[in-house]
Amino acid sequence: MAKGKIEPRLVIVLTIIVMCSAVLLSFVHQWTEPIIAEHAASADAEAVLAVLPEAEETEFVSAGDLIYYKGFDGAGNLIGIALQDEGRGYEGGIRVMVGLDMEDEKVLGIDILEHSETPGLGSRITEEDFLDQFVGKSFSDSFELQNDIDVISGATASSRGVTEAIKGAIDKALEVYGGGE
């Protein structure tokens, strides 16, 4: 074989391998996509119940671009709403589920759904001690780090990301839901 010359047989074999791989990956994707969606929906349902602890039933609501969940007690009374938002941490996005009491305008609960923060440092945003400081906060509170929000030492960006996500969820809820339905 001459230097620099590519044999057509090798190109054909590699093309067939690539085509077979693409077809196989397509089938695997089609097979796993509903399973992944089901797991994501299950995780969302668990998060809604975590941030609306008194809710016995939930209802999915889509209002324009906003998707949220209403939580009801056993008698059918609205307890609050839960919605997701995202803030920017040190390593990437921090996705949270926030439970809100729209009548009393206070935070009912927080659940970190996804993050890529540094293990042992920024990942401490998932600890109860950190998250509990948001529960019961009024929508009118400042949500300022080191003022009314305790920062995780060495993880200011992670703390800021969670706080931004919570404030963003409150703003979206007030804009779309409006505080009474």
pLDDT at 2: 56
pLDDT at position 181 = 46
Which of 119, 116, 179, 124 lies closest to 150 in space, CA to CA? 124
Q: Rounded to the nearest 5 degrees, what angle is found at the Cα of 147, between the Cα atoms of 154 and 112?
A: 55
C-alpha to C-alpha distance for 157 and 153, rounded to whole angstroms: 10
pTM for the full model? 0.77
Q: Report the mean per-residue pLDDT for the chain.
A: 90
17-62: per-residue pLDDT in tens?
Answer: 999 999 999 999 999 998 888 877 777 888 899 999 999 999 988 8
Q: Residue 13: pLDDT band by 50, 70, 90 thresholds?
A: very high
3-state helix, strand, coil in the chain (%, to 5): 40, 25, 35
Give residue-wise pLDDT tens across range 72-117.
999 999 999 999 999 999 989 999 999 999 999 999 999 999 999 9
pLDDT by residue (tens digit) across 122-165?
999 999 999 999 999 999 999 999 888 999 988 899 999 999 99
The two structure tokens encoding residue 107:
């935070």
Spell out the domain ranges in the chain: 48-176
